[in-house]
C-alpha cells in the first residue's frame, strides 16, 4: 500500500479528481462499510483520511454542474451515503445548483 501511495503517477491521477478518484472513493467506502462496522454503525469521523477524502469529494460536487456528474461520481456519492449525516449536505449542494 505504501508503494502505491508513494507512486507519483497514481498520485497525479487521483489528484485530478477524475473518474479514478471517484472509483477509488466508491471502493474505499464499500471496504469501510464491510470491515469497520461497530454496533451497526461505521465511526466515519474516526477513520484516518476520511475528512480529507470527503472534503475533496464535496468540493468536486460543488464545482461540477449536476448534469455533468459522471456515473462514477454518482456511485461514490451513493457509497458515502452509508454515512447518513451527509444527506443534508448533498441536498444543500444540489438544491443550491437548481434554478
Cα angle at 21 between 15 and 24, to 5 degrees?
A: 130
End-to-end alpha-carbon separation of the chain, Å? 44
**Could you tell me if residue 12 is inside a domain?**
no
Whether residue 85 is contained in a domain is answered as yes
Is 47 within the bounds of a domain?
A: yes
Structurally, the chain folds into a number of domains equal to 1
**Does residue 10 fall inside a structural domain?**
no
What integer is the mean pLDDT of 12-21?
74
Q: Is 3 part of any domain?
A: no
Domain that holds residue 90: 17-96
**pLDDT tens across 39-63, in order?**
667 788 888 888 888 888 998 899 8
41: DSSP letter: B
Q: What angle do CA 29, 30, 33 make, to 5 degrees?
A: 85
Residue 32 included in any domain = yes
The residue written with cell numbers 449525516 in the block is: 85
Query: What does the mean pLDDT of the chain come to?
Result: 82
Distance of alpha carbon 15 from the chain centroid: 13
Q: What is the DSSP letter of 46?
A: G
Determine the Cα–Cα distance for residues 44 and 67; give it in Å rounded to an integer: 29
- pTM as predicted: 0.74
Amino acid at each position: 500500500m505504501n508503494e502505491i501511495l508513494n507512486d507519483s503517477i497514481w498520485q497525479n491521477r487521483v489528484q485530478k479528481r477524475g473518474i479514478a478518484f471517484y472509483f477509488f472513493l466508491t471502493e474505499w467506502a464499500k471496504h469501510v462499510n464491510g470491515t469497520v462496522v461497530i454496533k451497526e454503525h461505521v465511526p466515519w469521523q474516526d477513520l484516518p483520511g476520511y475528512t480529507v477524502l470527503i472534503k475533496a469529494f464535496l468540493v468536486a460536487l460543488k464545482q461540477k454542474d449536476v448534469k455533468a456528474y459522471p456515473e462514477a461520481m454518482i456511485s461514490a456519492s451513493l457509497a458515502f451515503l452509508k454515512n447518513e449525516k451527509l444527506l443534508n449536505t448533498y441536498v444543500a449542494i444540489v438544491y443550491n445548483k437548481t434554478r
